Amino acid sequence: MFRHAATVVVALIPTPNPVESAFVTLDLAAFGPERFSSRELSRLEFGARLLDLADDKSLPILERCKFIAIFADMIDEFFQVRVVSLEDKVAAGVQTPSVDGVRPRQQLADIRERVQSLVERQDRLVLDVLLPELASVDIEVVKYADVNEDERNDLISYFEKHVYPVLTPLAVDPGHPFPMISNLSLNIAVTVSDPATGEERNARIKVPSSLPRFRRVGSGRWVLLEDLIMSNLSHLFPGMDVGRADLFRVTRNADLSLDEDEADDLLVALEVELRRRRFGEALRVEIQSGMAPDFLELLVSQLDLERSNVYVTDAPLGLHDFWSLYAIDRPELKGEGWSPLTPPRLLDGDHVGDVFAAIREGDILLHHPYESFSDSVEMFVDQAARDPDVVAIKQTLYRTSGDSPIVASLIHAAEQGKQVVALVELKARFDEAANIEWAKALEDSGVHVVYGIVGLKTHCKTALVVRNEGDVTTRYVHIASGNYNSKTARNYEDFGLLTCHPAITRDVGELFNFLTGFSKNGNYDKIVVSPFFVRQRVVELIATQRDRGPRGRILMKTNGLTDPTVIDALYEASQAGVEIRLEVRTLCCLRPGVAGLSENITVHSLVGEFLEHSRVFLFGHPDDEGFEVLMGSADLMERNLDRRVEVLVPIEAPALQRELLDSFEITWRDDRFTWVLGTDRRWRRLQSVNNYSAQSEFKRRVAQRSRSMSLLP
């Protein structure tokens, strides 16, 4: 009904002025590209840290299986997004080296070598360590051939009733074209022969993803779905002799080819591209050892792949499905768990009080998942939707959950006659389909939906509430590092700020005008916005600390650090004697500890129960004049600084500055789940001395604060 109300904004993007240092004391050119590390290999090294955790015998066995599933997801996404970019460059004859001086073809060779070593390690962990340990606690994955008669009868019954009706064997011969293999699907290649003529033929069967990958049989025993199918192929080929059966899995290009300038309706264009993505260009085929050579040749030929794109494994394919094992109801085999607690400032007795009244008393810093997302952010939007004094709500949505209470609140607000604007980023990778559905639902409810800015992804996490309070209109704002997603808020570590600071709320209002209309991006008093000013501001703040020499200090917590300009600025500050400590979860192209370049830089990576997702930047010491603390959505990567709308907000209240500084120091002291980046570009796990877990400490502190509040009269 309101579908055509959705808009796409064409941005008038100014070219940011280059940041000029007051002086340059370091000849960076002398170090050449060697001063950087490979972005792609750095991402794969994060995978190595995940495997370290899967191999950590001090962790419960299902937690270790969870890290195998996360690793499998990461490798799949890496091929779908990063490898395809390099393949495209090679196909186009691009010879331009990356920032670390390596050309695309060599990057692909380096990636293959590292992926192979990681997958071999994964195989050994799964087959030799995890599966035997699971069996010892009555979660045994058994072969169909090894089940007893009663179990086999149960499996055959399940196959005939639930599996067989779903299966569709597709012949592969000159009369039947090679079937389209959808992205990340698990498939069985079957060779059958005619007993009368001896003629051999090939067929393909897709293992249905709609059925559970693991089928329970007996007590504490499980059979893989593909094993069940492969053991009952005679049902599918009556009258034929069944020969070999081999598994394979194809990874395809998941990048969308979307010409926003030419699209009359971005939503419709994106829906078309999503349908195409299931059958995009093949990038990798995974097979198990021993596949019939003739079918492998056919597979490689039909998928138009080089043999170097074939990855052979001994473990089950598609280990993403280890999430199914993690879902087994055995809490004693998982981590200690955590139930987020209501932020004390929002409590009124034993329930959440008036959020707006609490914000008027002073800015509120939220730390998820230790503090409840539902009792803070979702309650902020819910109270705004139900409050008769609220006249408008504006919100960005990048990734949200399938049963999003925030979307429900926005719909309710629109139905109450409030002015509601939702900027839904349709191009949020792998969440495009979900965002399309939310956009339609919001539009149908009368919400004005904006699809974002042509050429940019809107990645900032901002919500604005406009409320009439007597003779004045007050604006309230939430700015965060994490998405408006109740599911990830239980597993991702993030910060958020609730404020009614006039300058900040005015800035956010101007930002929404830019995002939804044709206004030029203006100058903001407080917030720092990319792609216009984040790089410039960060480099300026680094330069200020550089000019202070050994009295300077830079502390940064981010998901990725790849931007050459920022890295070079950090090198200059290091050579001026500035203490620099970087907490980087995944990608880091900076090389610490290089003589004459980065002796004063140390890089840590914490990988634990919760995914470290916050972005916090601290410049100087609390007692310094000009001590600066920023928090928000921007990583220090080219995509965030040049191709995304990001927001950093200054934290100016001394108590909240100390809280963010304390959180950084707690994270830095972790010696339980921390890796340190070496000069040789290798990450090494920190040897634990104090068995100090930052995430456990955050839990303890929040619980203690909650108990203290409960004792107050």
> Could you give the residue numbers annotated as active site?
459
What distance lies between CA 47 and its chain's CA centroid? 13
Nearest 5°: CA angle at 88, between 85 and 93? Answer: 130
Q: What is the dihedral of CA 615, 619, 622, 626, to 10 degrees?
A: -120
Q: How far apart are CA 105 and CA 86, in angstroms?
A: 8
Alpha carbon distance, N-terminus to C-terminus of the chain: 53
Q: How far is CA 105 from CA 36, 86, 91, 111, 335, in A?
A: 18, 8, 10, 10, 42
* Tokens linked to 365: 């810093």
What type of residue sits at position 119? V
Q: How far apart are CA 653 and CA 476, in angstroms?
A: 17
Q: What is the DSSP letter of 300?
A: H
Contact 184, 251 (CB under 8 A): yes
In this structure, the chain runs to a length of: 713
Q: How far apart are CA 26 and CA 600, in angstroms?
A: 14
**Residue given tokens 């009244």 in the structure block:** 357
* Tokens linked to 211: 């059925």
Using DSSP's 3-state secondary structure scheme, residue 464 falls into strand
Please, what is the angle between helix 104-124 and helix 39-54, to 10°?
A: 0
* Tokens linked to 361: 């008393």
Contact 642, 530 (CB under 8 A): yes
Q: How far is CA 189 from CA 33, 306, 565, in A?
A: 46, 19, 50
Nearest 5°: CA angle at 174, between 168 and 179? Answer: 35
* Tokens linked to 323: 């999430």
Left (φ > 0), alpha (ψ -120 to 50) or beta: where does 98 sit? beta
Q: How far apart are CA 294 and CA 186, in angstroms?
A: 19
